[in-house]
A and B are shown apart, each in its own frame.
Chain A
Amino acid sequence: MLDLKEWRDSLQGRLRPGDRPSLTVGMSTCGQAAGGARVMAALEEEAGRLGLQVDINQTSCIGMCYAEPVVEVALPGKPRVFYGHVTPERVPVLIEKHVVQGEPVREWALVQVEDGTVPYDGIPVMGTSPYYGCQVRVVTSRLGLTDPESLDAYVATGGYEALEKVLRRMTPEEVIEEIKASGLRGRGGAGFPTGLKWSFTRQAPGDKKYVVCNADEGDPGAFMDRSVLEGDPFTVIEGMTIAAYAVGADEGYIYCRAEYPLAIKRLKTAIAAAEEKGLLGRDILGTGFNFELHIKAGAGAFVCGEETALLASIEGRRGMPRVRPPFPAQQGLWGKPTNINNVETYANVPFIIKNGGRWFAAMGTEKSKGTKVFCLTGKIKNTGLIEVPMGITLREIIFDIAGGIQDDKQFKAVQIGGPSGGCLPEDKLDLPVDYDSLTAAGAIMGSGGMVVMDENTCMVDVARFFLNFTQAESCGKCTPCREGTKRMLEILTRICEGEGRMEDLDTLEALARVVKNTALCGLGQTCPNPVLSTLHYFRHEYEAHIKDKRCPAHVCQALLVYTIDAEKCTGCGACARACPSGAISGEKKQPHRIDPALCIKCGSCMEKCKFGAISRL
């Protein structure tokens, strides 16, 4: 029988740099998109050319998306140093200085992880660096630091300790009590207490039960689940196995969106490895407990993130939600009691079991315990994946971790919770990040997307953007969502095009409230949030579009006016040649002018003008 402790002990030390240097490249989807594969090839070529004895490996995303491609260099007995913005051209210098001469290239280094070794001077240490200092990495603790496809690496870092504890020493009821004590709430957005949900499935009558993992991360601007699945698939699998034991299930599904091919590949590899070692499948760890796990790839429908639609999709049907109750805990997959949680929720489970519910409950606020993973994107300096304790303020996240606004522009709003969430203005930045405060302010915790917007973002355009998305993704089953989103989108489009009327704002608000209160599922009930929150906090921008026919952020094309400053214009004619509609005229070497009736507001002239003579109002 598999002895986990013996296996773990035999692996000790193997995770730290061995007796030769190692070079590790971040190869998650974002690392690859930034050119990680080319960097890896360059490392291999250069190491080969110099005849160096080095290990070249890949890892997942350490969270500093802004610095991709990221490469870790580790020498035996020395701290691991992470470099950002590594290009194939920088590789020879990096290898020559750090690997051959043993001196890190300080100006390219991001952080170092000291691991009990003596740190290099002049390089920030991970735990106290500006980017990681306020973070508490639990769910993401292995990301970017271990090989996500290696079960050895998982076990060596404490993996499967929790499952062993559960199967050998705890009853299913005790497991549920421990999760209840932790205060863990669903990380998919709604925030339902996880332990309570498990107890419903546990208590539901029936001898066949399922556990399902919702990995259909569809919110635009969110990639937490992708990062966790690509970076630590085993922790999700272990969490699901524990949940299956607790609720009395012997079969499970991970429903992952098809747009994440790498996550699906890594899950398949991880499932096969766990099955081979008897950590998944029949008679797990010789305890007689069986759990079979399948992967289902989604087929591109946002609404399948809604739990009843997701179940319909696993069953091979159109992914349309149905009325609840009955809840999946009573009647779920193929009519059987089913526990559904999202990726991050399951990923928390092994850590809670290992360290105890009380440890988890010590983090966060009174009603929101533990940590939350967020994706920081938009107009900020440091885009990336972060994990912070609940209760941290938005200001700390945006200005301390993310480094503030790109090009030092003015902050305007932060959008939280994707198409179900809302936009919060500057005076809400000191709100603590927890389920209840965000909901009270008109946003929601959501799954963790956080898109920061600056002065150049038009809030009416943002509302239209989200409505455009939800309207396209509305499954069409219930009238409020199918018709309501369409009408709201029409009004928003009208306003963006300068055809809005003041009474539109009242209609929009009334429609939004009806859809929110009467739609069948979560998609419809929350899709008015971007409209309501922008109407509430940025009403003046709506009014400027309607009354003054002006887009204050200069985004809505129909409302822009391009003019040429006669003082600055040299009459070179570059603008006239670039203009696709022949709207610009003028004699050579004389100031030109734009005919507003012909101008299609494409901005080509402004891009071509070398003298800054064209302005946009």
Chain B
Amino acid sequence: MDASGNNDMNIKAKALADVLERYGGTKGALIPILQEAQEIYGYLPREIMQEIAKKLKIPFSQVYGVATFYTQFHLKPRGQNIIRICQGTACHVRGGARLLEAISKALGIGKNETTADGRFTLETVACLGSCGLAPVMMINEETYGRLTPEKIPAILEKY
């Protein structure tokens, strides 16, 4: 590993140590700690979960159990941009499935897959709560509404 890679690892380790410090002794802190750890690393590497277990003095199985229960947590690296296509009722009756198909075709990946260049990860979500603008999707923190398959290429180009 080169020097900058090492440096990056150190910054992340420091950030995680800060998080663990901040939640020290707080009841029920496991989920927020995992959320912040995932913010730092982009996903939850096994050794990070092990470290969290050690610091919280709880079994690794408990950390792993929580991390695999909630859909928000990811145990594998993901792409730079996360596309989340809404599969809610309103989006379903207004053509959400066709949207998923169009994006899947444009990127050449299926649900829960990442493009070879690591640019996009394609995920679905139960409901984004913007049903008035169905069908909708989110790319990172940005929500896009009133979509049609024709609008997809121009949106993807921005990322």
Contact = CB atoms under 8 A, between A and B. Distances in A.
B86 to A, nearest CB: 8
A473 B132 contact: no
A33 B144 contact: yes
Interface string A314-350: 1111111000000000000010000000000000000
Interface in B40-93: 62, 65-66, 69-73, 87-93
A29 interface: yes
Given A415-B89, A449-B89, A218 B31 contact: no
A187 B27 CA distance: 29
B71 A301 contact: yes
Q: How large is the interface on A (under 10, 10 to 19, 20 to 34, 35 or more residues)?
A: 35 or more
A375 interface: yes
Interface in B115-141: 125-134, 136, 141
A379 interface: yes
A80 interface: no
A260 B128 CA distance: 8
A33 B87 contact: no
B32 interface: yes
A222 B129 contact: yes
A2 to B, nearest CB: 30
Contact of B93 (A66, A261, A315, A451): A451
Contacts of B15: none
A473 B144 contact: no
Interface string B20-46: 000000011111101100000000000
A221 B130 contact: no
A219 B89 CA distance: 9
Contact of B130 (A223, A418, A466): A223
A465 B70 contact: no
B72 A318 contact: no
A457 B69 contact: no
Interface string A264-301: 00000000000000000000000000000000111111
A302 B66 CA distance: 15
A258 interface: yes
Interface in B87-109: 87-94
Contact of B129 (A226, A316, A320): A226
A219 B133 CA distance: 16
A218 B35 contact: no
B93 A316 contact: no
Interface in B133-157: 133-134, 136, 141, 143-146
A32 interface: yes
Given A33-B133, A297-B32, A377-B90, A473 B69 contact: no
B132 A378 contact: no
B133 A473 contact: no
Interface string A424-441: 000000000000000000
A220 interface: yes
B34 to A, nearest CB: 8
Contacts of A521: none
Nearest to B125: A259
Contact of A34 (B30, B34, B89, B146): B146
Contact of A299 (B73, B127, B133, B141): B73
Contacts of A375: 131-132
Contacts of A302: 126
Interface of B: 27-32, 34-35, 62, 65-66, 69-73, 87-94, 125-134, 136, 141, 143-146
Given A319-B70, A375-B131, 6 more contacts: A30-B133, A33-B130, A221-B127, A222-B131, A316-B28, A376-B132
25 contacts: A29-B143, A30-B132, A30-B133, A30-B145, A33-B133, A65-B131, A68-B132, A220-B88, A222-B127, A223-B130, A258-B35, A259-B125, A259-B129, A297-B32, A299-B71, A299-B73, A300-B72, A317-B62, A334-B27, A378-B93, A383-B90, A383-B131, A449-B131, A469-B126, A475-B69
